[in-house]
Amino acid sequence: MLSPADFASAIAIELRRGSPPDVRDFLRIKFKNGTHSDFQDVHVFGHHADIPLTEFIYRAEVRSLPNPLFFAV
């Protein structure tokens, strides 16, 4: 029988500095589903590797809701 912990999930957001000469900050996002699985990389906004922090912020802002009343119709 499965315990309630078997249904747990977690997300990890890592901020790291790039290697020279590209010393920008990058995000690495990982997801784990269940207590017995390993973290897996999540590729956001079409990237197949870490995403530059500035690009992540820009793309997240573009996709954000215009205001809290957006759904209050």
pLDDT category at 62 given cuts 50, 70, 90 is confident
Q: What is the mean pLDDT of the chain?
A: 82
pLDDT category at 5 given cuts 50, 70, 90 is low
pLDDT of residue 7: 72
Backbone angles phi, psi at 46, to 5 degrees: 80, 0
Domain residues of the chain, as ranges? 4-66
| Whether the model pTM is above 0.75 | no
* Residues 33-52: tens digit of each pLDDT: 877 678 999 888 888 889 99
